[in-house]
């Protein structure tokens, strides 16, 4: 039997130690920043704090998809591109849904408001 070795799929699809380490470091940094915004109590407006927290969460999802799931724009018959589009749609649904739920919980559950 012949074993086809295609350099694009054998090396890029599994990642390397450097790729995993880079993804891990990005994940740590993208986790520490929101923790600092919440626990460090910097003197910035609440809206900006929320934007930073959600922005770092969105970027972290993309880091996980790229560095750990190895989904890139280099499409194999359109499936990887479709995966990126699906990830973007899920990202929008999760972020918008979280904001909507938190807004309505704050409006309906806070006494005296």
Mean pLDDT, 10 residues at a time, the chain of 113 residues: 47 74 95 94 91 92 86 67 82 90 84 65
**pTM, two decimal places:** 0.66
pLDDT at 52: 94
28 CB neighbour count, 10 Å cutoff: 11
Q: From CA 102, how far away is CA 107, in angstroms rounded? A: 9
pLDDT at 16: 86
Find tokens 């090396």 and name the residue: 11
pLDDT at 13: 54
pLDDT at 8: 47
Q: Give 34's contacts (C-beta < 8 A, 6+ positions apart).
A: 52, 53, 56, 57
pLDDT at 2: 46
Name the residue among 83, 84, 66 with its Cα closest to residue 19: 66
């Amino acid at each position: 039997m012949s074993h086809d070795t295609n350099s694009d799929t054998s090396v890029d699809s599994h990642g390397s130690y450097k790729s995993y380490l880079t993804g891990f470091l990005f994940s740590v940094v993208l986790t520490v920043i929101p923790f600092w915004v919440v626990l460090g109590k910097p003197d910035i407006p609440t809206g900006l704090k929320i934007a930073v927290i959600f922005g770092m969460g969105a970027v972290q999802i993309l880091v996980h998809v790229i560095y750990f799931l190895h989904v890139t724009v280099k499409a194999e018959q359109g499936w990887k591109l479709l995966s990126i589009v699906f990830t973007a749609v899920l990202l929008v649904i999760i972020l918008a849904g979280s904001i909507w739920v938190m807004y309505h919980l704050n409006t309906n559950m806070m006494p005296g408001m």
